[in-house]
Amino acid sequence: IGAYELTRRLGEGEFAAVYECKRAADGPDGKRYAVKAINKAKVQRHSSILKSKRNIRRVNLEVAAMRRFRHGGICQLYDVVQSNSFVYLVMEMGERDLFTFLDDHPEGCPEPVVKQVMRILALGLRHCHNAGVAHRDIKPENILVVGDPLTWAGADDRAGIVKLCDFGLCASVHDGAMLNDFVGSPGFFAPELMIRRQYDGPLADAWSMGAVMVEMLLGHRAFDSLWCPPYEHLHDVSAFSRGIREAVSRAKLGSAETPPSEPVRRLLEMLLQVEPERRANVEEVCGAKWFDL
């Protein structure tokens, strides 16, 4: 594809596949990139013309948003290559995603590691929101991890030890525009998407950030058993609302062996407010004393 050679397949989604690639001119030891190959036919192929146009708008917005971002906590877009059948987004390559990283921490991560990840995630997300973009699908699979916690102590915030990626569901939120389409991933989308007709995209992102923090603190297994059951009630708003409030209360207590410290508990309190009017925005989160920003 243009100046790049695909070297291996990394994953696949509804409209796109992700590959590792390199510049042909750089030789076998050249820098590696990730390339998202968006299939134009799949984007446009839909029984509903409205949904087809919506999908096209989302691809265009993803490209436009990533071209605007310049932050160490966001995956960098280097190039866009077009063919008759595909749009190729050539991006920064991550070593693994946060979900895979958490496989090595079945009982949850130590608070210093959680602090480092959430600090960069907050800074990157603030950059998105200041640019008028809500991500709307924040989850461990969409956060790339760079390096190892042992190397993070002296890391510069501008370099980014984690990087927010996959803006395929992002939305423009200039001038406080409210959103009304239901997107996101079970376990991570904000409660108001179930309960209200309209919602604030950046505040929904703040909730998702809190859910990521819960999974980092508890580990996969405890997160799945404590946090995710309410999301099984997608057709019962009252059961979902009741369940998510109970899950929030339990998550703030942590496990019996490792209850959260006071700074962690306060940050969870800021992010995990079921009523979005009471929830902190990411600018306020960046001001949390725990982050020392």
pLDDT in tens, 203-214: 999 999 999 999
- Quote the pLDDT of residue 26: 85
For residue 83, what are the CA distances in angstroms to 40, 53, 80, 88, 188? 9, 20, 10, 8, 35
Give CA–CA dist 28/137, Å, rounded.
35
Q: Residue 94: pLDDT band by 50, 70, 90 thresholds?
A: confident
Can you spell out the DSSP letters for 245-284?
HHHHHHHHH--SSSPPPHHHHHHHHHH--SSGGGSPPHHH
Conformation bin of residue 150: beta by default, left when phi > 0, alpha when psi is -120 to 50: alpha
- pTM tops 0.95: no
Q: Which residues contact 51 (CB under 8 A, 6 or more apart)?
A: none
Is 22 annotated as belonging to a binding site? no
Residue 137 pLDDT exceeds 80: yes
pLDDT in tens, 218-237: 999 999 999 999 999 988 99
Q: Which contiguous run of DSSP H or E holds residue 251? A: helix 237-253
| CATH 3.30.200.20 residue ranges for the chain | 4-91
Return the active site residues: 137
Find out if CATH 2.70.70.10 is the number for domain 4-91. no
Q: Residue 43: pLDDT band by 50, 70, 90 thresholds?
A: confident
| CATH 1.10.510.10 residue ranges for the chain | 96-291
- CA 136, distance to chain mean position in Å, is 7
Residue 29 pLDDT exceeds 90: no
Find out if CATH 1.10.10.10 is the number for domain 96-291. no
